[in-house]
Chains A and B, each alone.
Chain A
């Protein structure tokens, strides 16, 4: 069946693993993965809990389509209260780990408490046990995978783990699975580290069977796959160029945040773009890009696998980085590159490899480096404090900083706290390019107005994956809207936010939404899941999930004042490009958004809205 109807509850304090039935009424109301796991989390923790305390919980969850024949049905999420933001955190990852969890017979795993010593969870179908991880503590994500597979003599085990960043509770530490896929944002890896949980290793051989109407499911998934195949974006553009193709696009429209958002266009954007990854290097005659790659069940295959220049200063004495590995994707390339003014593709890939190896979110890390470089250029930070001269554009500084942060040495400890805390400590909180403590991704909201509202209202802090209006405002998906206009953006942002909550909760990749609408997902869910899954129900589920997350954040202490952007984006006009002279029009959009949402002027869902959504 789409849901296995089973939850594994792991009490790390007591060292117990217990099976529980899935609450099927909640499954009908919140679908799975992001929505359902958030419902469990919110029902079980105090919203004001310290995210890094044993009283916080962490849930790894699949959706009803995870592990099935639905295209991209390999996604899983890590849900917890995030240490970077203090808001609800829900980080989504591809690879093969999510499907393996389903194959082992579990919809989700709830971790609670804190182990007295490092452990890892080993699950083999219905058998689950905590095992000593003292030999793994201090190891990277890559080493951890290798050791566990070797130890169990099973190369088919799927593993999610933390590296040194998670152990050291870097506030933007990731949980990494399958070497280079990650539940990347909001510091879910730090929560895992705080619980002394090094890894989760899964082996499942049960498959996923008993979907509600198998013939209808086969028909629906085949038709939906054809839509992906026939679409020029998902059938051709993403497999060949990956997400990185956006580098030149976003630079051209004047919305590529550069040098900590001082500028909106980067003069070296072409050097770190998808096109550059296809060009032969002068040094060795090889292309940076080796091949594309797909996660479980994916018929798009947007992933990038690259090989770094062995003679580059970052790796010439480190052969372990010479092999083909994951990256660069657009967000990482931007954050490690344009955000810091670094136009050295190989240096970006090196920093990306370290982020994968030791489990750090390259977006928040890169953006924090950008803040540090601005503080350095202002004379607030010195080379002595940082450990290296750190002007914008220094690939050497980027490489040094990623090494220090990954292992928690020197100034890396401060970088590991994220830009909000770093900038506050040095007297310039306005220089943190973040919302609710989480750093922006790769779109400047002066040049893409709707993204300013999407960032300000994102339930997990600044994020592009909670309401990707770039699709409409820039790429014309599903319809083209004007990126410089604010009119109509509150409705657009809400529509993207609610629909994305459904895609995430189904267990599929949001990139399908470049070709699919909810109308393509609905027949797949309706055939797979018991109950009747109409378009109306899906729209309601998406809106319910969004409001539930919002209510948690409100209870955690967030108010309308936190739906804000840094003054740089609302007071300092863009200097170049189509948005020259513009700031973000958040003040105009936000009250309209609250109205569209059915919220009070204080940003809280009204009683009518709560009642309508059963909250």
Chain B
């Protein structure tokens, strides 16, 4: 299945160097979870602060069970703020 994977701010360093922007379009196995994506891309747990699937926040306790589905957009930020 195909998903869109987005890493922002300092997490963009975990994207492949030849990527353009902060977005990757990926083929992943059925049943891949949010937690697996975080681990596969070696994102430190503490840095995966704001984790959104299709814009909806996924709390740390739900990431291991949240399976992605075709067309999902997974976006992750480190701790950030603004105003």
Q: Which residues on A are within 8 Å of B, measured CB to CB?
A: 231-234, 236-238, 240-246, 248-249, 252-254, 270, 274-275, 330-331, 464-465, 468, 470-471, 474-477, 480, 482-483, 510-511, 514, 577-578
Contacts and interface: CB of A to CB of B under 8 A. Distances in A.
Interface of B: 6, 8-10, 12, 21-23, 46, 49-50, 52, 54-57, 59, 73, 75, 77-83
A275 B15 CA distance: 13
A458 B49 CA distance: 30
Q: Quick one: which of A236, A483, A577 has the most chain B CB within 10 A?
A: A236
Contact of B77 (A234, A249, A483): A249
Given A464-B83, A465-B83, 9 more contacts: A236-B10, A237-B10, A237-B79, A246-B82, A253-B55, A270-B21, A471-B81, A476-B49, A577-B55
B46 to A, nearest CB: 8
A103 B26 CA distance: 58
Contacts of B56: 253, 578
A524 to B, nearest CB: 21
Given A253-B52, A254-B55, A275 B79 contact: no
Contacts, number: 95
A31 B5 CA distance: 48
B79 to A, nearest CB: 4
Contact of A241 (B9, B49, B50, B75): B9
Contacts of A275: 8-9, 12, 21-22
Contacts of B9: 237, 240-241, 245, 274-275
9 A-B pairs with the lowest CB-CB distances in the bound complex, closest first? A243-B82, A232-B79, A246-B82, A237-B80, A578-B55, A514-B81, A245-B80, A330-B82, A233-B81
28 contacts: A233-B79, A234-B81, A236-B78, A240-B9, A241-B10, A243-B82, A244-B82, A245-B77, A245-B80, A246-B83, A248-B6, A252-B6, A252-B52, A252-B73, A274-B9, A275-B8, A275-B12, A468-B83, A471-B81, A474-B50, A475-B50, A475-B80, A477-B81, A480-B59, A482-B57, A510-B83, A514-B81, A577-B55
A237 B78 contact: yes
A465 B82 CA distance: 11
B5 to A, nearest CB: 13
A234 B78 CA distance: 12
Nearest to B57: A480
A468 B9 CA distance: 22
Nearest to A254: B55
Contact of A237 (B59, B73, B81): B81
Nearest to A577: B55
Nearest to A246: B82
Contacts of A237: 9-10, 78-81
Contacts of B21: 270, 275
Nearest to A240: B10
Nearest to B46: A232
Contact of A270 (B22, B50, B81): B22
Nearest to B59: A480
Contacts of B57: 253, 480, 482-483
A577 B73 CA distance: 11
Nearest to B21: A270
Contacts of A578: 54-56
A480 B80 CA distance: 14
Contacts of A476: 49-50
Given A275-B9, A275-B12, A577-B55, A248 B83 contact: no
Contact of A238 (B8, B46, B59, B81): B81
Contacts of B75: 248, 252
Contacts of B59: 480
